[in-house]
Structure 1
């Protein structure tokens, strides 16, 4: 399918497809513990359903609204009766709240550790230019997106799996676009989150943790619809199953070569896998950096 966005690995996918089907044996999450922030609805719920389909042993969904979490938990367990789902309230802007939530989930896993963390919770503030914005509302984007990532990193570190933990940072394609009117707080705060996770993974290289930054697609979620309305952008919507299936693939061994990389859920994974050798020679490709630079080591 053609795309309105540049696509290095065609075709451009708008819905899940066989290569990222969570039921593929190669993508199995059997025995894994998976924690998803913002897991009650939208992208987070899609990812939770996909990991359940891939056979995860236990899935934690964290959010502020228990009723929403409980509804998603019931839906997942109805479709996948053998999967244990824990609905846990937590607020990533509060260090004590998110630390308690992460510790509680870890205490319920077989190993006391977490294998996969999906950092999905985020905030899109009200539309306004910087000069006219309410300062408190503007900085809410940084409180939730940036401080939230900081709090989550500090909560996750002590209970991350001893070897081979995976972080999936659910980001936004907005940070790859020119300035979009009225959403500077969202664009800039989401951009700031990327190096926080990169530094966390770099600090724990000996532990083998890896991170993949994911643009989940253009989706008809509450936040997605708000972003389209505020920015005035016009582009087709993707299926909500796409980010879920892609996340399962990104956490699998097939995607292990994508550490530190930023990829779009719309890109074809067979094309991505075919680029493995090329990416191994270029540590800057599909990362956040300065356009036009080449590898200084070459």
Structure 2
């Protein structure tokens, strides 16, 4: 899909799905605004991509930083067409009885409040320009209780409902809200999960995980009309039909 002239803002862009998404969207012609807390990693990625990319250090849990990042993006590229809500954390992994309340809440702040912050900040621009796409990374954990992941499961389930609310309220303004559940992906998060040893996911072999460029390519495909039937819902990358449509099978 040709994204020439479009601007994409990606959170959690310093590694994994976020970094691969930056590469995929830039290769398709888009300008990419890359947000993450890791400034050094962002700088390296921008150096790799070139003039189509800008690095914006940002903690999505802090609305002021997100609002500033959106303003910087608009100033640099003249608009904002796609938001990719990718930033997310899972550590510390622990059972409810042993969970530290502050640590548990921090996961909610990043995984749920961070998504809200980004959506809230981009809506005025997207409304003014006639619409846009808000693509949010979901998870099978949104639908299944997984031992040791209460914070992650709760945050992803809430994000799915937030996505539905966004569609209900903003579809009339041309805003497309779609979630992507990629399955298990070969990223740093899976290394953290494996190190925990708490549940069956931690015992998966590395070869069981899909490469991060698969969800990145799917996110690009989701910007096109073929994904319109999923507005307000969620795409599963475990679905062979979706893999075929994206060109992964």
Could you tell me the TM-score, scaled by structure 2's length?
Answer: 0.89
Are 1:138 and 2:104 matched, yes or no? yes
The residue number in structure 1 matching 2:22 is 48
Q: Secondary structure at the match of 1:202?
A: helix
Gaps of 5+ in 1: 1-26, 78-82, 274-298
Q: Deviations over 1:33-81 (max 9, x none)?
A: 100011111110011111112111x11000111111011111223xxxx
Cα RMSD for the two superposed structures: 1.9
Q: How does 1:217-236 map to 2 (within 5 A)?
A: 217-230=183-196, 231-233=199-201, 234=204, 236=208
Corresponding residue pairs, total: 238
Q: Deviations over 1:206-260 (max 9, x none)?
A: 2110111001232221112223443332250112210111110011122122201
Distance 2:242 2:104 in 1: 36
Distance 2:245 2:216 in 1: 18
Q: How does 1:1-298 map to 2 (within 5 A)?
A: 27-56=1-30, 58-77=31-50, 84-110=52-78, 113-160=79-126, 162-177=129-144, 179-230=145-196, 231-233=199-201, 234=204, 236-267=208-239, 268-269=241-242
Greater gyration radius: 1
**Higher relative contact order (CA closer than 8 Å, sequence separation 6+):** 1
Distance 2:125 2:46 in 1: 23
How far does residue 272 in structure 1 lie from its aligned partner after superposition? Answer: 6.7
- Runs ≥4 residues deviating over 6 A: 270-273
Please say if residues 217 and 242 of structure 1, whose CA atoms lie closer than 8 Å, have aligned partners that are also in contact: no
Distance 1:44 1:134 in 2: 28
How far does residue 108 in structure 1 lie from its aligned partner after superposition? Answer: 1.4
How far does residue 271 in structure 1 lie from its aligned partner after superposition? Answer: 6.6
Please say if residues 167 and 231 of structure 2, whose CA atoms lie closer than 8 Å, have aligned partners that are also in contact: no
Q: Deviations over 1:269-288 (max 9, x none)?
A: 37779xxxxxxxxxxxxxxx
Please say if residues 125 and 140 of structure 1, whose CA atoms lie closer than 8 Å, have aligned partners that are also in contact: no
Q: Secondary structure at the match of 2:136?
A: strand
Gaps of 5+ in 2: none
Q: Deviations over 1:152-191 (max 9, x none)?
A: 12211122262230011011122233x2211111111111
Pick closer, same or farther for the CA change 1:87–1:270 going to 2, 3 Å.
closer
Distance 1:253 1:32 in 2: 15
Could you tell me the TM-score, scaled by structure 1's length?
Answer: 0.75
